[in-house]
Amino acid sequence: MDNPVIKPKGVVKQMKYKNCWVLLLLMLAGVVLGGFVGDLTRGISWLSWLNAGQSFGFDTPLIVNLGILVITFGINIKITMAGIIGVAAALITYRLI
């Protein structure tokens, strides 16, 4: 007779795998929404601190021209206070789900 409380191992692994994707999606949404809020509050004097942060990466992309194929490599990451708050809100939301 099957006990409804005990789940097979595959079900538990599948639930953990799904939760990792949910966490990644929430963190990505937190970064995007935080960056959006930071850009919106740039012009407001008492909220301009939300857009304070550091940007790092390549100023100009690295271009490799192979004749028939041109490959461009570049990355630029901007970490702002609003982005950090967005990630924190995403982590809190994940804990509540």
The pLDDT of residue 67 is above 70: yes
The separation between CA 42 and the C-alpha centre of its own chain, rounded to angstroms, equals 21
Assigned domain for 26 exists: yes
Assigned domain for 49 exists: yes
Mean pLDDT calculated for residue range 75-84? 93
Mean pLDDT calculated for residue range 75-93? 93
Q: Give the pLDDT confidence score for residue 3 in this predicted structure.
A: 55
Assigned domain for 46 exists: yes
Assigned domain for 2 exists: no
Q: CA gyration radius for the chain?
A: 21
Assigned domain for 66 exists: yes
| Number of domains into which the chain is organized | 1
Assigned domain for 64 exists: yes
pTM of the model: 0.69
Assigned domain for 1 exists: no
The whole domain housing 52 covers: 12-96
Assigned domain for 40 exists: yes
